[in-house]
Amino acid sequence: MKRHAIITTLLLLLLVTEMVKAQQWRELPTGVTEDLYDVCCIDTNTVFACGQNGVILKTTDGGETWEEKYRQPGCQMTKMYFINPQVGYVFCDSNISISSHTWSLMKTEDGGESWQSTGTPQNSSFVYLDDWNALTNRYVCSEMAFKGTDTIFVAISLDGLYRSLDGGESFEIIPIEGFAGSEVRGFYLEDNIGYLLWWNRKYYTAGIAKTEDGGGSWHRIDSDLGITSSIIYFAHFQDKNNLRVFGWFNVGPYDFSLLDTHDGFQTFDMNGVESGLTWWYDVLYEEYRKCHFTDRNHGMAFYVGKDMVDLWDVSYTEDNGSSWTSYSHTAFPNYPDRLYDVDGIDTVFFISGENGLVAKNRQFTLMDNVEQDESTVSVYPNPMVDKLFVKCEEESDVTLFSSTGQVLYEKRIVSETIDVSGLEPGLYLIRIANSDGISHVKKLIKQ
């Protein structure tokens, strides 16, 4: 019986995949109007966002409610990173002119409930990535990486790589050939192995540097590998051995390629497309800014148009970046002019943007871990008329979809009576996911 149920479920999934595949974005009530430059997921319920006027927000219920944890007017919080659920850092840029900045790190040791400055503020020189936007002081790119709890690296676009050996109290600059004046496009450190990837917009050159001593010294590896690149868009680091780099590489007949390695660049594969023939050329030419993969298959990225004023669009992949589906900016509630960051867990993604925007999607895909052990969930009646009764063995995330993929109901429950009297007759789908990631999927008929 269980085998039959699983086969039936897989057949059902094949029928409704296209229906539920579309992103269902929902604006979350952050309660602020500042631009939010970064979003950081601890889990699907605990999420942070930070941005203008030094604002730091936290939610513990998946974005349904947000609490302001910190605010520093005149400061830009542009990047957040958590070492563990309790200890985290935020990059704080203050005393800003077009090219002169004073930056420091803010630190929490209690899960983001309180934040304190670390060390002496650092003076730096860099400009904002969007030239047309520089005078408004809205955004600067920085990335962080950690070795243990005391060694911190901060990579700042158009400036350099900084290292602290005392938990952020003091910093020194680490020289890297070719990196100065370039934009950070990927930064990762695990044990003693690390990578820094960049693109120089002025000269249309890019580079890949590697460290094997925990970040004390770095050496270029792109030329050793026989790779030359004019643009690196973004990179995904699964671990220190498994990396993927998306960009324009001058290799063979290809203009754009996905560079994939599973052994830390000892060997690598290059999967490319001929210029102008596919979606890659049309879309990636627009220029990607942010990308986040929650695992090797699922990733979300967004880009801005060539003239730097077009609205942002979002693209999603569920096949390791081999193909992407593009979703227009009209998928977002208030159609913001700018989106700034994306983060996610499993197939749940959060995107931050202008005017306090945080949007969340729930992505249902065939990659979900699907079981049909009917002893753990109960959904009845089917067909349904006015009410639907749902009972779970443990607290679970319940989502009800329409036939067009619209999310009609979404809540974490143990048992609930759902009012379906207002639904039109037809086909619906309910998904119940427990804390172990086991999903129960049922087709429902509304009479």
CATH number of the domain within which 264 lies: 2.130.10.10
Of the chain, the percentage scoring pLDDT greater than 90 comes to: 22
Residue partners of 121: CB distance under 8 A and separation at least 6: 94, 95, 102, 103, 104
Average pLDDT score over residue span 23-44: 86
- The answer to whether the CB of 386 falls within 8 A of the CB of 420 is yes
- The answer to whether the CB of 53 falls within 8 A of the CB of 77 is no
Same domain, 33 and 52: yes
Same domain, 421 and 300: no
The two three-digit tokens of residue 221, written as one number: 């590896």
> For residues 131-143, b (16+ Cβ closer than 10 Å) or e, as one string?
eeebeebbbbbbb
Same domain, 159 and 101: yes
Same domain, 374 and 229: no
pLDDT at 252 over 90: no
Could you report the per-residue pLDDT of 126-174, keeping only the tens digit for each?
A: 655 443 343 333 445 678 899 888 899 999 888 889 999 998 889 999 9
Going by their DSSP bridges, the two strands 116-125 and 142-147 should be labelled as unpaired
What is d(CA 77, CA 74) in angstroms, rounded to the nearest whole number?
10
- As a residue count, the chain comes to 447
Could you report the per-residue pLDDT of 42-83, keeping only the tens digit for each?
A: 888 899 999 999 999 999 999 999 999 999 998 888 899 998
The two three-digit tokens of residue 316, written as one number: 């999603």
Same domain, 55 and 106: yes
pLDDT at 364 over 70: no
**Structural domain contains residue 219:** yes
Range of the domain at 111: 10-362
Same domain, 420 and 323: no
3-state helix, strand, coil in the chain (%, to 5): 10, 50, 40
Same domain, 389 and 346: no
Same domain, 419 and 320: no
User: What per-residue confidence (pLDDT) applies to 22?
Assistant: 43
Same domain, 328 and 440: no
Same domain, 379 and 430: yes
User: What per-residue confidence (pLDDT) applies to 288?
Assistant: 52
Report the domain count for the chain: 2
pLDDT at 5 over 50: no
Average pLDDT score over residue span 197-211: 86
**Structural domain contains residue 3:** no
